[in-house]
Amino acid sequence: MQKIEMIINARHIYTLQGEGVGYLENNSLAIDKGKIVAIEPIDEIKKEYTAEKTIDAEDKLVMPGLIDGHMHTTWCTLRGLAQDVGNWMMHGAGPFTTKSTDKSMIAGAKLGIAEAILNGTTTIGDDGNLAEEVCNVVYKYGVRGNVSVRIREALEKVYEPGALYEYSEDKGNQTLEKTLRVYDKWHNKDDRIKVLFGPQGADFVSKEMLEKVKRLSKERNTKISMHLSQGSRETKQMEMRYASRTIPWLARKNYFDEDFIGIHLTDALPDEVKAVVDNGASMVLCSGAIGIIDGIVPPAKIFQDVGGNVALGSDQANGNNCHNIFNEMKLTALFNKIKYEDPEAMPCWKVLRMATIEGARAIGLGDITGSLEVGKQADIILVDLNYPSLQPIYAKPMRNFIPNLVYSATGREVNTVIVAGKIIVENKKPLTFDLKEVFAEAQEQADIVGEAASPQFWEVNGVNAIYMKEGKL
């Protein structure tokens, strides 16, 4: 009998293998050296293996850990400050982002990643200015990360609507050099961290910088993660600068391929979406953020219908409020049903695949995680079925687990989180970080940023400033 690290005995398992959801009943997962070594009926595993730790998940649902393909975790200290504002980036977030410091953003990264983990996320895709610090948090907390350094030439300031962004070549080169340093230090660290190139968007960097990024990413065999057709603001910038919409302009430069991850595609036309897919690129959908910020449903259904891989992302807490893929699954399903006036437009099983295996494929990790298969990393969550949101349980004539996961669950039902075979949350208790310390650091920094941002907040006089004056917040 072979001695291994862990066995999980489960009444209900969703492997996400194949084209569906891969349901198994009364099976066990055998885990050793961070990987799944067997998935077999419980009695068979008992004959073949003994384990240092055995988890009996009789009242749990066992499934792959969730994929959050796009996050700005460093902005988590600005939660709830830019909602309900038309010009959200400048007049909503602007007074606070311009007064944020490295300390406040590091505190945000700790809070955002902790929140994601506790809600069942085992892979984060982070984009920001402090990628090295984020990598350090990812490493310490034990989660898996696709991390990119934000490459930007546009000057950081509050622009008036319609103003063309001002570029600084020196600023762009500094962020690119930082990307290379972070890549050299963290890429493939502990087999959990990948470093990507992250130009903020085609409107935020010059065409020369985009060309340089493409060449260097190919040389280092990594991907580009970039905001793409993020909204009318980006489209106007591109039309003013290049007399072209973003996707056609990039397509003419042969920028799309299997190593390109496009974020949002909010303002993309159907033929533009098809052009991205036809060239092998993937998409990350942020339903919550784009719904709140722009009141728009991104074209995820179109992207899937023409054969593209789509991941879900929670984006940033100053726009979306939470880093929770359960939230994104529900909103993605609901928004598309409403958009197409069709209850069958985006079924629950499809958004679950976007949160797991298809999401992993979209961000280049489909051979590592996203499904429970022999040889893959043991990135697993256990969902407690003893919650009102998941009761009662039906096994026939249909199973109701996935509808309830998508439409009823909130993330609080996640009991255990495992990454690469290591338990990082057990019985809802985080084992790799102190949540009270995370909260305290975030609050301290929020107090400092709020004080510093006050003059500009009132000067800009955005919608939320007006609401404050009127006693509506």
User: Model confidence over 338-381: pLDDT tens digits?
Assistant: 999 999 999 999 999 999 999 999 999 999 999 999 999 999 99
Q: Is it the case that residue 101 has pLDDT exceeding 80?
A: yes
Under the banding of pLDDT at 50, 70 and 90, the label for residue 85 is confident
Same domain, 55 and 82: no
Same domain, 179 and 221: yes
Give the HSE-up count for residue 90: Cα atoms under 13 Å, Cβ half-sphere.
13
In a domain, 441, yes or no: no
Under the banding of pLDDT at 50, 70 and 90, the label for residue 161 is confident
In a domain, 50, yes or no: yes
Same domain, 25 and 166: no
Under the banding of pLDDT at 50, 70 and 90, the label for residue 1 is confident
Same domain, 150 and 51: no
In a domain, 220, yes or no: yes
Please state, in angstroms and rounded to a whole number, the distance separating the CA atoms of residues 464 and 160. Answer: 17
Label each residue of 381-425 as H, E or C.
Answer: EEEECCCHHHCCCCCCCCCCHHHHHHHCCCCCCEEEEEECCEEEE
Same domain, 12 and 84: no
Reported as type and span, the H/E element at residue 183 is helix 169-186
Same domain, 152 and 20: no
Same domain, 143 and 253: yes
The DSSP output letter for 380 is E
Q: How many domains does the chain have?
A: 2
Exposed, middle or buried, 1 (CB in 10 Å: 0-12/13-18/19+)?
exposed
In a domain, 351, yes or no: yes
Same domain, 49 and 187: no
Average pLDDT, the chain: 96
Amino acid identity, position 53: K
Q: Percent of the chain scored above 90 by pLDDT? A: 90
Tell me the helices (H) and strands (E) count for the chain, helix number first: 17, 16
Per the model's pLDDT, the better-predicted residue between 289 and 242 turns out to be 242
Q: What is the CATH number of the domain that holds 26?
A: 2.30.40.10
Please state, in angstroms and rounded to a whole number, the distance separating the CA atoms of residues 104 and 76. Answer: 9
In a domain, 459, yes or no: no
DSSP string, 289-308: HHHHHHS---SHHHHHHTT-
In a domain, 137, yes or no: yes
The β-bridge partners of 393 are: none
Domain of 170? 66-362
Amino acid identity, position 399: R
Number of other CB atoms surrounding residue 195 within 10 Å:
27
Same domain, 130 and 264: yes
Same domain, 298 and 387: no
pLDDT of residue 157: 76
The answer to whether the bond into 397 is cis (omega within 30° of 0) is yes
Under the banding of pLDDT at 50, 70 and 90, the label for residue 397 is very high
Q: Is it the case that residue 87 has pLDDT exceeding 90?
A: no
194-203, 226-235, 382-391: which range is least confident on average? Answer: 226-235
Quote the pTM value: 0.96
Same domain, 307 and 185: yes
Q: What is the CATH number of the domain that holds 345?
A: 3.20.20.140
In a domain, 123, yes or no: yes
Nearest Cα neighbor of 322 from 86, 121, 95, 91 is 121
In a domain, 427, yes or no: no
Under the banding of pLDDT at 50, 70 and 90, the label for residue 224 is very high
Same domain, 97 and 242: yes
pLDDT of residue 293: 81
Please state, in angstroms and rounded to a whole number, the distance separating the CA atoms of residues 356 and 379. Answer: 10
Measured CA distances, 243 to 19, 169, 182, 239, 248 (Å): 42, 22, 35, 4, 11
Please state, in angstroms and rounded to a whole number, the distance separating the CA atoms of residues 384 and 404. Answer: 12
